[in-house]
Structure 1
Amino acid sequence: MATRQAVLAQLIGVIDGISRDRPVRLAVDGPDAAGKTTMANELADALSGLRPVIRASIDDYIRPPEDRPQSPGVPATGYFDDNFDLAALIAGLLIPLGPGGERHYRAAGDATGTAPYDAVLIVDGVFLLQTALRPYWDVGIYLHVSEDEMLRRGLLRDRERYGGDDATRELFATQFVPGWRAYQAQCDPAAAATVVIDHEDPAHPVIRSRST
Structure 2
Amino acid sequence: MRRQDFLTHLVDLIVNVTDDHPVRVAVDGPDTAGKTTLADELALALSGVRPTIRASVDDYIRPLEPTVPAAGYFDDNFDLPALITGLLIPLGPDGDRNYRTADDTTDIAPPNAVLLVDGVFLLQSALRPYWDIGIYLHINEAEMLRRGVLRDHTDYGSPDAVRQQFETQYIPGWRTYETQHSPSATATLTVDHQDPTHPKIQHRTT
TM tier relative to shorter chain: over 0.9
Aligned match of 2:197: 203
Shift of 1:112: 0.8
- 1:67-146 alignment runs, 5 A limit: 75-146=69-140
Q: Give the CA deviation at 1:74.
A: 7.3
Partner of residue 164, structure 1:
158
How far apart, CA to CA, are the structure 2 residues paired with 1:8 and 1:19? Answer: 19
- Inter-CA distance 123–14: structure 2 relative to 1 (3 Å threshold): same
**Displacement over 3 Å in runs of 4+:** none
Aligned position for 1:23: 22
- Tell whether 2:184 aligns with 1:190: yes
**Amino acid across the alignment from 2:82:** A
What is the CA distance between 1:21 and its match in structure 2?
A: 2.0
Q: Structure 1 CA distance, aligned partners of 2:126 and 2:19?
A: 25
Name the residue aligned to 1:69. Answer: none
Structure 2 alignment gaps of length 5 or more: none
The amino acid across from 1:3 in the alignment is R
Q: Distance in 1 between matches of 2:25 and 2:62?
A: 22
Q: Which amino acid aligns with 2:78?
A: F
1:110 alignment partner, SS class: coil
Identity %: 65
Note the C-alpha offset of 1:64.
Answer: 2.7
Unaligned runs of 5+ in 1: 67-72
Q: Does 1:153 align with 2:147?
A: yes
Deviation at 1:151, TM superposition (A): 0.4
Q: Sort the Cα spacing of 1:204 and 1:65 in 2 relative to 1 into closer, same or farther, 3 A.
A: closer
CA distance in 2, matches of 1:192, 1:65: 28
Aligned AA (1:195): L
* Alignment: residue pair count: 205
> CA–CA distance in 2 between the matches of 1:161 and 1:83?
19
TM-score normalised by the chain length of structure 2: 0.97
